Amino acid sequence: MPDFTPVIEYFNLLLETKDDWWQWSCIALCIGLAFLAVHLLKITLFAENSSCKRFCLRFFNPGSKVSGFPIVLSLLFWLSWDIRENLGYSNHYLFNAAFLTSAYSVYHIVNSITKSSFIPRTLGATILVLFTLKLVGLSQPLYKSLSGASINFGAISINFWNISLAIIAFAIIIWLAHLTERFTKATLGSRSDIPPSIKVLLYKATKFLFYTVATLASLSIAGVDLASLTVFTGALGLGIGFGLQKVISNLISGVIILLDKSIKPGDVIEVDGTYGWINSLHTRYVSVRTRDRKEHLIPNEDLVTNKVINWSFSDNNVRIKADVGVSYDTDIPQALEILTSCVEGIDRVLKNPKPVALLISFGDSSINLQLRFWINDPAAGVTNCRSQVMLNIWQKFKEAGIQIPYPQRDLHIVSSKISTESSQLDGTANDTAPSS
């Protein structure tokens, strides 16, 4: 039979004094209150279709379930610890519970907010390791060991502790950059009073600011004197200017596009034979999606220096032309009236401006007519709308007996001239024939 005496002695040690009983009672009470508080939050703030829940779904990672229990529990633990500490009671068990719960809460929040897997796992593992080292009392020896080892770069000396802190700071600030960008998108995404190009500019400016701060803060934490890098950064900037001219040009062109608002997400454009609507704006390129769902990544410089047709720059109204030819024996006024009726019943065609049918020219084999009509949703396609109208024209012309002629050519044969030329050819052939 197994001997459980050591286990019993361990639990007796945990509950050795009256103060230990009070600490474990506080821990149990905090757990019960945390369950109750989380339940109340779910039925009030996070009810189905509530504004708070919709915001959190956009802000947090929808693929991971965010639990508020460890967060609320850690807050209650620290509140209990603070109250007992001010009253002068012992709190070592309560402190350890609050410390471990806080470590897990931070890891859970980071993992829920960040969509990528590398950053939350790295930060979460680092935080858990640091909390554990602090809890077992190994943080101070580790600090002394890492501080004593250093790397020298000329006059610059950097110890491993500062390098570790710089890496952690860089990762945290980069994570905050992604977090801030998502928060900005969640906040400004539904604002219709802010132009889309300004929204994109705010997103990119915020990310660039955080990346700059992350780099400078990491170097400063590592112990690098930023003033000593002035000459180096100047030479580096000169080298980048020569070696990455196209990249820098695209970056600057992207800022110009965002500032002058010439194109914005959702616009329908045509550039170098590529027709489609702008799916997204980036610092180096613009993503244009065509009707066949292909993504064309057009460099920003091409949109600044080349001719771009923006079908929806000032408004979304686009005029479409449908050409058709009829035979010369057609009643033209009747044909024009039928043309204007061919757009009736098509929801995408605007009633104002009104559709217009015109006689364009007299061709070799047909009288050329043209129907002009307007739509205000070019992103939904232009050719498909024109095709629907052309099909209506063909059906109504067929019902009215109006013919769409084939190309015709008149061939005039002068018979007397052909006979004379044939006689001359026959005489020439007889003269040249050999005698028998």
Residue 61 lies in a domain: yes
Same domain (yes/no): 330, 389: yes
Shared-domain flag, residues 294 and 364:
no
Based on the domain organization, do 300 and 335 belong to the same domain? Answer: no
Q: Which of 113, 137, 161 is the last residue of a domain?
A: 137
Among 137, 156, 188, give the residue marking a domain's end. 137
What is the C-alpha to C-alpha distance for residues 369 and 212, in angstroms, rounded to an integer?
62
Q: Does residue 76 sit in the same domain as residue 47?
A: yes
Which residues on adjacent β-strands are paired with residue 297? Answer: 287
Residue 183 CB contacts under 8 Å (≥ 6 apart), including other chains: 59
Residue 65 CB burial class (10 angstroms; 0-12, 13-18, ≥19): exposed
Task: Mark which of 91, 111, 137 sits at the end of a domain.
Answer: 137
Tens-of-pLDDT digits for all 436 residues of the chain? Answer: 444 455 445 455 555 566 767 777 888 888 888 888 887 877 776 666 666 566 555 555 444 455 678 888 888 888 888 887 787 777 777 787 887 788 777 777 666 665 555 666 676 677 777 777 776 666 677 777 777 777 766 666 677 777 777 777 777 777 777 777 777 776 766 666 666 667 777 777 777 787 777 777 777 776 666 666 666 666 666 666 666 677 778 778 888 887 777 888 888 888 887 788 888 888 788 888 887 788 888 888 888 888 888 877 777 788 899 999 999 889 999 999 999 999 988 889 998 889 999 999 998 888 999 999 999 888 777 888 999 999 999 999 999 898 888 776 667 776 655 555 555 656 555 555 554 4
pTM of the model: 0.46
The runs of H, that is alpha helices, within 189-244 are: 196-221, 230-243
Residue 418 lies in a domain: no
Which CATH number does the domain housing residue 302 bear? 2.30.30.60
How is residue 208 written in tokens?
């660039």
Residues 264 and 296 in one domain: yes
Question: Does residue 10 lie in a domain region?
Answer: yes
**pLDDT of 17:** 62
- The answer to whether residues 292 and 327 belong to one domain is no
Q: How far apart are CA 112 and CA 40, in angstroms?
A: 21
Number of folded domains in the chain?
3
DSSP letters spanning 124-160: HHHHHHHHHHHHHT-HHHHHHHHHH-EEEETTEEEEH
Domain range holding 62?
Answer: 1-137
* Among 374, 410, 370, 409, residue whose Cα is nearest residue 390: 370
Give me the pLDDT at residue 143, please. 72
The pLDDT, as a whole number, for residue 436 is 42
Assess if residue 178 is contained within a domain.
no
Q: Is 16 helix (H, G, I), strand (E, B) or coil?
A: coil
Does some domain include residue 68? yes
Pure H helices in 88-137: 92-113, 118-136
- 323 assigned to some structural domain: yes
